[in-house]
Amino acid sequence: MITTTKPNHIGRKIARIRELRGMKQETLAEELGISQQSVSSLEKSEKVEDETLNKVSEVLKVSPEAIRHFSEEAVFNIINNTFKDNSANNNNYFCTIDPVEKIVELYERLVQAEKDKVAYLEKLLK
């Protein structure tokens, strides 16, 4: 089911990205240090403060700009184009995802997460 979001409704975009990541409101709330009810209110908000958006983007592992410009239609098109059988018809749909780029992106995220953990543990030891 594809639901359309209002172009500038940041809360709905946050909700859809959270859902696409397979994350529950409770998990997002815990990561942000707020209540589930606060996350629910946040997702109903058309506008979100930059500081809050930055925190949410860190938890969802996307940039604030990715949230601002999120489009379900674009996600659907990427998925459709990625898995479309080109031999079925003459439309020239090609995979728009570079697997090497995705692996590098994942590696960079993992390295950063480890650096953050080390820094946090060092801070706790001091």
CATH number at residue 47: 1.10.260.40
Residues 31, 69: one domain?
yes
d(CA 54, CA 63): 8
Residues 23, 51: one domain?
yes
d(CA 122, CA 82): 43
**SS3 readout for the chain:** CCCCCCCCCHHHHHHHHHHHCCCCHHHHHHHHCCCHHHHHHHHHCCCCCHHHHHHHHHHHCCCHHHHHCCCHHHHHHHHHHHHCCHHHCCCCCCCCCCHHHHHHHHHHHHHHHHHHHHHHHHHHHC
d(CA 102, CA 108): 10
Residues 9, 35: one domain?
yes
What range does the domain containing 88 cover?
Answer: 1-95
pLDDT at 34: 95
- Taking only the tens place, the pLDDT of each residue in 75-121 is 666 556 655 544 444 444 455 666 777 787 888 888 899 999 999 99
- Taking only the tens place, the pLDDT of each residue in 5-27 is 456 899 999 998 898 888 999 99
Q: What is the tally of structural domains in the chain? A: 2
pLDDT at 87: 45
Residues 85, 105: one domain?
no
Q: Average pLDDT over the chain, rounded to whole?
A: 81
